[in-house]
Amino acid sequence: MLFAMALLILFGFIAGAATAVSPCILPVLPVALAAGATGGRRRPIGIVAGLVASFTFATVALVYAIDAFGLPDELLRNLAILVLLLFGISLLVPALSSRIEASVSRFTGRFQPERSADGFWSGTLVGVSLGFVYAPCAGPILAGVITVSAAQPFTAGRLAVALAYALGSALVLYLLMLGGRRLTVPLSKRLPQLQAGMGAVMIVFALVMVGDYDLRFQNAIADDLPAFVVNPTRELESTTAAREALADLRRADVSAEGEKIANGAAAQQERESSGSGPPVESDLPKFGAAPDFTGTQQWFNTPGNRALSLDRLKGRVVLVDFWTYSCINCIRTQPYLKAWDERYRSDGLTIVGVHTPEFPFERSAANVEDAIKRAGIGYPVAQDNDFATWDAYANRYWPAEYFIDADGQVRYAHFGEGDYDEKEKVIRELLAEAGRDPGRGGSGADGVTASRRITTPESYLGSARADRFVNGTIIDGVHDYGRLRSPPPDHLSFGGKWRISPDFAVADGGELGLEFGARRVFLVLGSPDRPRKVRVLLDGRPIAGPMAGADVANGSVTVDDEQLYSLVEMPEAGRHQLTLIPDKGIEAYAFTFG
């Protein structure tokens, strides 16, 4: 564990340094050079110190604050714009600059042995604003370690990786500022004019940020530059060593019991994939004692909505199903789970759905309750918003099913869809082993299965997991992507204006393109405050007839609840172009296919 964390800290430092020479630094560089070229010799140090502090704070602590208080995503950027504007004006007005410097020096005098006007503290304030602008540059290593969901626990290790990333970037930026100061030495005799010019640069850049022109410029050049220039850290962050270190870090929150269950399930999956098939009754191994339901919130479909425990269920066979309500794979398993519940509950089977959210809106108890009612689920369901039960089982999949015998031992596990006949056999064998009589007939369960001709993988629209976009690297903030371009196979395209967040993208007059290979297309959508519509075009024409999904009417989807919407439902799988034209304010999360 310590080695994995040390490796991630090293990778974070290198990735941060590499990011500082990528196009992502462009919004920060002119202001940093301008501010670092003026003032005392310690101002560049102050700038990098402020940048390190605010970048680390923005990528760690503010995740929790924004989630807890419901603050807007643009808050940090707006604060940065305000600070840059104020400092630019102060440099244009020497009297105001002197007054600010004196005020800062008086305030910070207790912390420094000499009250020299070296510019360190005023530089720190500029650096703080730059850190907020620079925060969206954080790459996959940082996104994998620092939480994008406030449900995950804060640790010193995650803070260390963020700090290492910021230090790597700050070191390169500091060297650039030193070079800039040397270039401006010949102009030192004209310091007032130099300061005024630098102030004008800061004001202009603040106004550029107001109109999002910095982001448009960055996106425009990123489209035309080689991939290694746009994202120089991609190769590092996709190495086997980095992926293994991230996996080791995630396993740190898992109990010893959960690790035993995960190892047993992995061995079982490997045996089945080799062609041995599922074990027969005499071969059902014991993975370990099943962890109890822990850290749950609201319970549904139990007497008085009270929490269940495995102790109270001793003597019954228990099937624990990890799911989340906007997951199409989970939705397709529900007919089978409901059929097994109806067929075997009286024979000694208890199914418990553990709802562990993938997206923020799935943390709402009201949303989960609505989803349970829509699906007609009658078995108990628990909210696992903090991933506590998920981690207790060392689980990593939606859906995932764990089969527990009457003595509380995990005997079988299955991840994903399919193998329903085998899973029902396991239920019947565990019931028989417990002295229950499951009878002769099966459940007769049936449901929709995914097409075997799917070629397009699940596709996320938020910056944390966005991939295969023709627009290049997708970063947070408001972007105008220009004309919608036709994507190549299995790729996506943003067109027009969108506001990007880690988990979703909000339409602001933009369009969305997708070139897919599948029979069915689903998209998780939300529309805060009021219903909105999304126009759906297939191969350039409004979708209609047998091609339209269940949620499409007259070529459009009406979005009100935050959930999965069916857009395309074709008679057979094929390759097509999908274009979506959403109303302003529509939130789009992830595509799935069937």
Please report, for the chain, the start and end positions of each structural domain, with discontinuous segments joined by +: 2-245, 254-433, 459-593
Q: Between 263 and 67, where is the model more confident?
A: 263
pLDDT at 180: 67
Is 170 in contact with 51 (CB distance < 8 Å)?
yes
Res 170 pLDDT > 80: no
Name the E strands within 416-491: 459-460, 477-480
CA distance 46 to 55: 14
Which pLDDT belongs to residue 150?
A: 39
- Give me the pLDDT at residue 371, please: 94
Q: Please report which helix (H) or strand (E) contains residue 108, including its range.
A: helix 94-108
Report whether pLDDT(188) > 60.
Answer: no
Rounded Cα gap, residues 337 and 354, in angstroms: 13
Residue 231: what pLDDT? 47
More confident residue, 383 or 244: 383
Q: What is the pLDDT of residue 261?
A: 79
Residue 113 pLDDT grade (very low, low, confident, very high; cuts 50, 70, 90): very low
CATH architecture of 254-433: 3-Layer(aba) Sandwich (3.40)
Q: How do 492-495 and 349-355 pair as beta strands?
A: unpaired
Q: Indicate yes or no: pTM above 0.85.
A: no
* Maximum alpha-carbon separation in the chain: 97
The confidence band for 405, taking pLDDT boundaries of 50, 70 and 90, is: very high
pLDDT score of 144 more than 50: no
Kindly tell me if the per-residue pLDDT of 319 is higher than 70.
yes
Give mean pLDDT, residues 211-236: 52
Nearest to 525 by CA among 308, 283, 254, 326: 326
User: Which range scores top for mean pLDDT: 25-39, 62-76, 255-269, 327-341?
Assistant: 327-341
Q: What is the pLDDT of residue 529?
A: 86
Q: State the helix-helix crossing angle for 94-108 and 75-92, rounded to 10 degrees.
A: 120
For residue 309, what are the CA distances in angstroms to 158, 478, 504, 512? Answer: 33, 46, 35, 45
213 to 32, 88, 209, 218: CA distances (angstroms): 18, 18, 6, 8
Tokens of 455: 């070629």
Q: Is the pLDDT of residue 279 over 60?
A: no
d(CA 588, CA 580): 11
Mean pLDDT of 457-467: 90
**For residues 84 and 151, which has the higher predicted lDDT (pLDDT)?**
84
**Confidence band, pLDDT 50/70/90 cuts, at residue 173:** confident
Mean pLDDT of 506-516: 95
Return the closest-CA partner of residue 43 out of 168, 51, 137, 81.
Answer: 51
Distance CA 447, CA 334 (A): 8
Question: 315 — alpha (psi -120 to 50), left (phi > 0) or beta?
Answer: left
Better-predicted residue by pLDDT, 478 or 19: 478
Instruction: Provide the H-helix boundaries in 185-255.
Output: 191-210, 213-224, 227-230, 234-237, 240-251
Q: Which of 8-12, 26-30, 258-262, 443-447 has the highest mean pLDDT?
A: 443-447
pLDDT at 526: 94
Amino acid identity for residue 169 in this structure:
S
What stretch of H or E contains 328? Answer: helix 328-344
Q: Is the pLDDT at 533 greater than 50, yes or no?
A: yes
The pLDDT confidence band at residue 145, using thresholds 50, 70 and 90, is: very low
Q: Is the bond into 457 cis (omega within 30 degrees of 0)?
A: no
Burial per residue of 90-101, b for 16 or more beta-carbon CB atoms within 10 angstroms, e otherwise:
bbbeeeebeebb
- How much is the mean pLDDT over the chain? 78
In Å, how far from its chain's centre is CA 94?
A: 45
Taking the C-alpha atoms of residue 43 and residue 24, their distance in angstroms, rounded to an integer, is: 23
Please tell me the predicted confidence (pLDDT) of residue 42. Answer: 77
Domain 459-593: assigned CATH number: 2.60.120.260
Q: Which residue has the higher pLDDT, 361 or 350?
A: 350
Q: What is the pLDDT of residue 575?
A: 92
- Asked whether residue 76 carries a pLDDT value surpassing 80, the answer given is no
Q: pLDDT class for 557, splitting at 50, 70, 90?
A: very high
Please report where in the chains the tokens 């397709």 appear, as a residue. 332
Q: Is the pLDDT of residue 407 over 60?
A: yes
* Structure confidence at residue 194 (pLDDT): 60
Task: Please name the amino acid found at residue 16.
Answer: G
Which of 70-74, 177-181, 556-560 is predicted most confidently? 556-560
Percentage, residues of the chain above pLDDT 90: 40
Confidence at residue 536, expressed as pLDDT on a 0 to 100 scale: 97
Q: 90-104, 153-167, 318-332 — which one is most confidently predicted on average?
A: 318-332
Q: What is the average per-residue pLDDT within 402-421?
A: 93
User: Is pLDDT of 419 > 70?
Assistant: yes
Nearest to 214 by CA among 463, 419, 25: 25
Position 84 pLDDT exceeds 70: no
pLDDT bracket for residue 117 (50, 70, 90): very low
pLDDT for 284 equals 84
* Interval 480-508: pLDDT, tens: 899 999 999 999 999 999 999 888 999 99
**52-56, 344-348, 462-466, range with the lowest pLDDT:** 52-56
Report the share of the chain in percent with pLDDT over 70: 66
Q: Which pLDDT value is given to residue 206?
A: 74
Whether the predicted pLDDT of 268 surpasses 90 = no
First to last CA, the chain: 38
d(CA 187, CA 34): 13
Q: Residue 286's CB: how many other CB atoms inside 10 A?
A: 12
- Averaged pLDDT, 156-184: 72
